[in-house]
């Protein structure tokens, strides 16, 4: 009782090794991709390569604007590798928050102590979100550092907005995992929910990119909410707030069920 947020701190302390690994992964991706830009994009080589690819593929990957520094960083990292890395990390942590702990029987002991269910859910969710935000911060710092040497010409405000969009998008998957874990206590369901949100978002965005007839799919894709406004070029976009609203909704639903139900033991 002496210090605040015991479960939050325990959660971080239990997973710092993993966080270190994900940090290295994000750093490695950025350090591999971004320094290549001057030799690829600057000379127009990349654009001519993209032009020779099938247009459907280019639209699916979102490589339309790869000829600019912002477009390159967006296509290679934020919209692809970074998205995948943070999604996997977030879904893993989100599944660990309740479902994993419940299924392997450790949650029973914690719940039997002097904490409320809401406190467990809130502090562990906060730990997941903070860890994702940390990875977003790592991306911001590295892109900012590489911006000059790699001739990317990215505005700092737009960079922060894009990292926020990435964190928001992956937090949505993570909170889907937290919610389903809180509702069902099943590990596989929680994993599936988080991965499902990510995949459906990506796929509906990619299909929506193909023709104007299907552009309405963007309205339903969290991936589009994050990136359709091209935040690395244009900065903050109101649709990003839909991600936060989604996170809040998932966590509240998870809490409402979790506080009422039996622990599956």
Partner 1 sequence: MTASATPAITTRGLVKRYGSRTALHGIDLDIARGNVFGVIGPNGAGKTTTMRLLLDIIRPSGGELRVLGESPRSGGAALRQRIGYLPGELHLATRARGRDFLAHYAEISGPVRLGVVDSLAERLGLELGRPVRSLSKGNKQKLGLVQAFMHEPELLVLDEPTSGLDPLVQQEFLTMLREAKERGQTVFLSSHVLSEIQQAADEVAVLRAGRIVQVSTVAQLRESAVRRVRVVVPEPSAALVADTLERLPGITGVRRVADRPRAAAFEAQLDAHVDTFVKAVGRHELIDLTIEEPELEQAVLGLYNGAGGER
Residues that bind partner 1 (CB under 8 A): 1-3, 6-7, 10, 13-14, 17, 104-106, 108-116, 119, 260, 262-263, 265
User: Cα separation of 199 and 151, whole Å?
Assistant: 32
Angle at 18 between CA 183 and CA 166, to 5 degrees: 70
The token pair that represents 23 in the structure block: 């940090």
CB of 90 to partner 1, least distance (A): 21
Nearer residue to partner 1 within complex by CB, 185 or 201: 185
Please list, in sequence order, all residues whose beta carbon lies within 8 angstroms of the beta carbon of residue 66, skipping any fewer than 6 positions away. Answer: 41, 46, 47, 50, 72, 75
CB of 192 to partner 1, least distance (A): 22
CB of 260 to partner 1, least distance (A): 8
Nearer residue to partner 1 within complex by CB, 45 or 104: 104
User: Cα separation of 86 and 97, whole Å?
Assistant: 16
User: Cα separation of 197 and 78, whole Å?
Assistant: 17
Nearer residue to partner 1 within complex by CB, 113 or 213: 113
User: Cα separation of 263 and 54, whole Å?
Assistant: 52
CB of 19 to partner 1, least distance (A): 13
* Displacement of CA 237 from its chain's centroid (Å): 17
CB of 189 to partner 1, least distance (A): 18
Nearer residue to partner 1 within complex by CB, 5 or 65: 5
Nearer residue to partner 1 within complex by CB, 112 or 238: 112
CA distances from 21 to 14, 84, 233, 237 (A): 14, 15, 30, 31
Nearer residue to partner 1 within complex by CB, 108 or 219: 108
CB of 102 to partner 1, least distance (A): 10
């Amino acid at each position: 009782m002496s210090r605040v947020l015991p479960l939050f701190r325990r959660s971080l302390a239990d997973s710092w090794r993993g966080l270190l690994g994900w940090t290295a992964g994000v750093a490695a991706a950025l350090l591999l991709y971004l320094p290549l830009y001057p030799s690829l994009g600057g000379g127009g080589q990349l654009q001519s390569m993209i032009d020779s690819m099938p247009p459907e593929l280019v639209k699916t990957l979102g490589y339309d604007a790869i000829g600019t520094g912002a477009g390159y960083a967006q296509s290679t990292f934020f919209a692809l590798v970074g998205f995948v890395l943070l999604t996997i990390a977030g879904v893993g942590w989100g599944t660990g928050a309740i479902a994993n702990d419940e299924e392997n029987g450790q949650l029973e002991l914690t719940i039997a102590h002097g904490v409320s269910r809401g406190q467990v859910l809130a502090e562990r969710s906060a730990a997941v979100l903070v860890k994702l935000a940390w990875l977003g911060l790592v991306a911001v710092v590295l892109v900012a550092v590489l911006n000059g040497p790699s001739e990317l010409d990215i505005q700092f405000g737009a960079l922060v907005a894009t990292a926020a969009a990435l964190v928001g998008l992956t937090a949505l998957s993570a909170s889907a995992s937290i919610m389903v874990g809180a509702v069902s206590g099943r590990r596989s369901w929680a994993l599936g929910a988080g991965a499902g949100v990510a995949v459906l978002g990506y796929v509906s965005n990619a299909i929506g990119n193909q023709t104007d007839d299907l552009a309405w799919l963007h309205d339903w894709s969290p991936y589009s909410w994050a990136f359709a406004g091209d935040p690395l070029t244009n900065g903050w976009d109101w649709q990003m707030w839909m991600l936060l609203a989604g996170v809040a909704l998932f966590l509240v639903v998870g809490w409402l069920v979790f506080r009422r139900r039996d622990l599956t033991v």
